[in-house]
Structure 1
């Protein structure tokens, strides 16, 4: 990794960890308090006591490619990204069209923005990277190098309540790599657009930017996709505008939730009443709130991986580790006990485990006698997949 990438990595991890404490009330530790937990787990040593050389969170995701570069598709480079969103309304507009072209559109691409030239970009919300999103990438790969175009900074601009991502930022590259067999052997790349830069574009201006600034060869979107200022554009208009700008346009039918149960149960209601049964990030969140991990796996097309960053608050034992929720980098399932899980150290599968989640802690216990303590001195990030 280049020095610049490492600097960005450290800043990103600090920001991620700080955000988890400030934005997730149920994960935060009260100021001035210490972590308390009943039972034997509360008496163990911390990681820093066991291994003094483990000091900083900034090293936590360097094996996962956070803000690092990966060379793929004829020399194209990429960076791991945040999740995307849709366009919303506001009464303020840019004064003139010329001002729309004064800034680089992609914030994580080279200055000449040739990252996506000639490629097919998929448009949509990519929080969960679920099977519906994968379907967009599959269609994009049939006509060229597939890209996901993500819009970031929406929560800050629109005043949404912060919430943890479904896929940890540093785990997105791994997830996208699992799509390669579905995409003709290509790993879909992901680039981000600062939402504030495109928020007031008309549908025509947005497509114009795709054509003239990014020089893509085509776009892929779902049948319910909306875009442009005040969400004025729909899939029909997208096809029309792409034709005017000589771009290919592919509209993909929604992937439906076959089980049709992930929005039910006792969990918090996050699925819209207008939901028609399509696979969505909201359905994934609802299934996590309900603790229905079979449903989560069906919607994602893979097992959900919870990612935790190492710091000095971990309690480590011979075959167990107890981790404060402030260390989580993405959304956990609801509190409870989960059997038939697997745990990973730095992306390497270690073995099977039992996971217990309560209001403050995540407790991981090896089921095959693996000496967890012996692995911790090399651990930067620990992951758990739910069976």
Structure 2
């Protein structure tokens, strides 16, 4: 005897950053319905395939996106490998190939959702294709103080260094993850050893400058976040060229983090990037940065 087919609620979108607006869509999708929630997302970002010169820097990598979507209530995340063949599908072909196999009872999208070749399909198109087969629900965009919450706006806030406002729209501090690499090791010599993360060109980071935040090692389940002063930039005092996120865990010189994956959460901006005249001026400023970070983070 064949197992009965289980209907699902399907939510579609890019979900870069899985911000407050995204999570509200997932919450509303299942309201009043006890069915599995399947999230359909795209990787890589469609713009990076169709107009690579305009590709946005992403707020999260794919692994983090999937983790965040499951934390937000997704039972399953389906990743569509976006390429030019997928982009060439008509709206009807897209529905038959990717959505109908999920047995949707309801499909939920943002009100600005577009799909199919040359973005020919919209919410009305989806509803017409689903007539008699599935319900379509279009969710309005969420806003904070009349500012629409969207991934593009959050990227712009990060480019301005406004991590506090970005956190309001994300619903959590902006987080950057990576594996600690060996840097120039100058921080250790200066009394401020840092955990250095490389910055690939396709991921977003806050504007160059110094921030207060938290560092959490990800190799130890349940590890407590550690207060940190965080530098983003190229270390211009020493004519650096590599773009990095460098975190000094406050009052800790005993940590061995090389090769360890860490999460860096940005709480507030302390200052912009500055090129100092010498080591003494740099050390004096770093001491002031640590004091300011302690104050912002509420640690002794």
**How far apart are the structure 1 equivalents of 2:177 and 2:202?**
6
Q: What is the match of residue 262 of structure 2?
A: 382
Contact 2:70–2:76, Cα closer than 8 Å, also in 1? no
Contact 1:314–1:323, Cα closer than 8 Å, also in 2? no
- The runs of 5 or more residues in structure 1 that have no matched partner are 1-115, 180-185, 261-277
- 1:72-111 aligned at under 5 Å gives the runs none
TM-score, normalised by the number of residues in structure 2: 0.71
Q: What is the match of residue 23 of structure 2?
A: 134
Q: What is the match of residue 38 of structure 2?
A: 147
Structure with more contact order per residue of length (Cα contacts < 8 Å, sep ≥ 6): 1
Contact 2:195–2:257, Cα closer than 8 Å, also in 1? no
* 1:342 and 2:214 aligned: yes
Contact 2:26–2:74, Cα closer than 8 Å, also in 1? no
**How far apart are the structure 2 equivalents of 1:211 and 1:338?**
43
Q: Count matched residues.
A: 245
Judged with a 3 Å threshold, the aligned counterparts in structure 2 of structure 1 residues 328 and 375 are, in CA distance, closer, same or farther, namely farther
Contact 1:123–1:150, Cα closer than 8 Å, also in 2? yes
- SS state of the match for residue 382, structure 1? strand
* 1:332 and 2:205 aligned: yes
Contact 1:152–1:193, Cα closer than 8 Å, also in 2? yes
Q: What is the match of residue 293 of structure 1?
A: 163
- SS state of the match for residue 216, structure 2? strand
**How far apart are the structure 1 equivalents of 2:111 and 2:95?**
17
**How far apart are the structure 1 equivalents of 2:80 and 2:202?**
22
Q: What is the match of residue 52 of structure 2?
A: 160
Judged with a 3 Å threshold, the aligned counterparts in structure 2 of structure 1 residues 134 and 314 are, in CA distance, closer, same or farther, namely farther
More strand, by proportion: 2
**How far apart are the structure 2 equivalents of 1:328 and 1:343?**
22
* 1:366 and 2:239 aligned: no
Contact 2:39–2:74, Cα closer than 8 Å, also in 1? no
Q: CA deviation at 1:163?
A: 4.9
Q: CA deviation at 1:247?
A: 1.0
Contact 1:117–1:217, Cα closer than 8 Å, also in 2? no
- The runs of 5 or more residues in structure 2 that have no matched partner are 235-242, 268-300
Query: Cα deviations across residues 278-308 of structure 1 (Å, max 9, x unaligned)?
Result: 3211101000001111211111111111112
Query: Cα deviations across residues 165-190 of structure 1 (Å, max 9, x unaligned)?
Result: 201333234423442xxxxxx44532
Judged with a 3 Å threshold, the aligned counterparts in structure 2 of structure 1 residues 118 and 177 are, in CA distance, closer, same or farther, namely same
Q: What is the match of residue 181 of structure 2?
A: 311
**How far apart are the structure 2 equivalents of 1:343 and 1:134?**
24
**How far apart are the structure 1 equivalents of 2:28 and 2:94?**
21
Query: Cα deviations across residues 49-78 of structure 1 (Å, max 9, x unaligned)?
Result: xxxxxxxxxxxxxxxxxxxxxxxxxxxxxx
Q: CA deviation at 1:123?
A: 1.4
* 1:280 and 2:153 aligned: no
TM-score, normalised by the number of residues in structure 1: 0.56
- 1:138-287 aligned at under 5 Å gives the runs 138-142=27-31, 143=33, 144-153=35-44, 154-155=46-47, 157-161=49-53, 162-179=55-72, 186-196=73-83, 197-210=85-98, 212-244=100-132, 246-258=133-145, 260=147, 278-287=148-157
Q: CA deviation at 1:205?
A: 2.5
Contact 2:15–2:65, Cα closer than 8 Å, also in 1? no
**How far apart are the structure 2 equivalents of 1:331 and 1:138?**
27
Single out whichever of 226-235 and 321-330 deviates more from structure 2.
321-330
Contact 1:353–1:366, Cα closer than 8 Å, also in 2? yes
